[in-house]
Structure 1
Amino acid sequence: MRWDALFLDLESQFAAADLIAVENEIAERTRREQVSVPLMGRLRGQTGSVVRIRTRCGTVFGGEVHHVGAEWVVLGTGSGPAMIPAAAIGSVEGLGRHTAPERSAVTARLGLGSVFRAFARDRTSLTIQLAADGTRINGTIDRVGRDFFELASVPSGELRRPDSVASVVLIPFSSVEAVLSRS
């Protein structure tokens, strides 16, 4: 009968319209969620994955994402760990689909100052790569301020001793392109 066909057609039209409405709602919710994802949340979702980070100055660091803080990411590169400040990141390649929120309120507060203070406390031998021209300075952080640190510069391969310090260099956090391990 024609009535049966008409009702079947109407039912399929309503079902299709409901499906389209649900798909549109899902797409809209997804867009709203993506708007709230910060850069570091996107990188945190890549922990354990291999990515390539090009800094704003053009240096490329490739490696596995080991740690992500509020203002920095650590990659395990072939030559050792490299910490790259969020402000120095120009682009990232090789991302998967995942994002991840902050793990805790404590990690949300672990900015660059916290990391630099830990390096100073542990007397870690570092190489600081400057954003302006890629200059690398070897040394140990002596003092950390609100937005700067002072690096006791020593020749490559030497440990920090009073007689090996060539100079003390004040470096604003904003001038750091990368922090490389010297161990």
Structure 2
Amino acid sequence: MRWDELFGDLSAQWDAEVRRELDAEVADRTRRERAALGLYERLCASGGMPVGVVLRTGTTLTGRVADVGDGWVLLAGDGSRMSLVPFGGMASVTGLSSRVGGSQMGRAFGLGYALRGLSRDRAVVTVTDHSGARATGTIDGVGRDVLDLSEHAADLPRRPENVTGRRLVPFAAVVVVGAA
């Protein structure tokens, strides 16, 4: 009779140990999977959701995640206002989903490629750098790590007589590129 109790107790201890090991393994796998996820994946999973982005300048942008690429996010704000924000220009993000996956959002191309698209489109933009300085104009060219901005008033076309200056802005200094 005592052996029945002994083996019953051993069985319960065995089951408890197996359960502890399984719980530890699940927790470890969860930590490893989470460690492999970055801002890109979190933003992709939050596609279409409203988020708040605190910029390195201290300004907060709010909008819907319209697109995400390699190192950047496109926010759709009030009306048709769009803002291209490099990850390096962000201080923090609020409103992101805690889940990941399930979204078809996410582009493989980087910031330079996105800026080249704005340049080809001859879009008038406002570029804000990490000091908070803003420059409005048209992106004339995009190099490997720098953009070339011809400054002019937002309501004037980019013509030689309207250009008031030219500015090179390293990608590392760009906090946000928005429609002018």
For Structure 1 versus Structure 2, the TM-score category normalised by the shorter chain is 0.7 to 0.9
Alignment partner, residue 160 of structure 1: 158
**Cα distance in 1 for residues equivalent to 2:77 and 2:104:** 24
C-alpha contact (below 8 Å) 2:64/2:75 kept by paired residues: yes
C-alpha contact (below 8 Å) 2:68/2:107 kept by paired residues: no
TM-score, normalisation: structure 1: 0.86
Q: Which aligned runs of 4 or more in structure 1 are off by greater than 6 angstroms?
A: 101-104
Alignment partner, residue 73 of structure 2: 73
Q: Which letter maps to 2:120?
A: R
Alignment partner, residue 127 of structure 2: 128
**Cα distance in 1 for residues equivalent to 2:12 and 2:129:** 64
User: How far 1:100 sits from its partner (Å)?
Assistant: 4.2
**Cα distance in 2 for residues equivalent to 1:107 and 1:53:** 19
C-alpha contact (below 8 Å) 1:41/1:102 kept by paired residues: no
Alignment partner, residue 112 of structure 2: 113
C-alpha contact (below 8 Å) 2:124/2:154 kept by paired residues: no
Cα 1:114–1:91, aligned 2, differ >3 Å: closer, same or farther?
same
**What is the CA deviation profile of residues 71-128 of structure 1, one whole-angstrom value per residue up to 9, with x for unaligned ones?**
1011111251111111111111122112349979x933x1111011111111112111
Alignment partner, residue 85 of structure 2: 84
**Cα distance in 1 for residues equivalent to 2:2 and 2:48:** 61
Residue 39, structure 1, aligned to residue 39, structure 2: yes
Alignment partner, residue 23 of structure 1: 23
Q: Which of 135, 138, 141 is the aligned partner of 1:137?
A: 135
**Cα distance in 1 for residues equivalent to 2:173 and 2:102:** 27
C-alpha contact (below 8 Å) 2:45/2:103 kept by paired residues: no
TM-score, normalisation: structure 2: 0.88
Q: List alignment gaps of at least 5 residues for structure 1.
A: none
User: How far 1:55 sits from its partner (Å)?
Assistant: 1.5
Q: Which letter maps to 2:177?
A: V
Q: List alignment gaps of at least 5 residues for structure 2.
A: none
**Cα distance in 1 for residues equivalent to 2:114 and 2:32:** 32
User: How far 1:135 sits from its partner (Å)?
Assistant: 2.2
Q: How many residues align?
A: 179
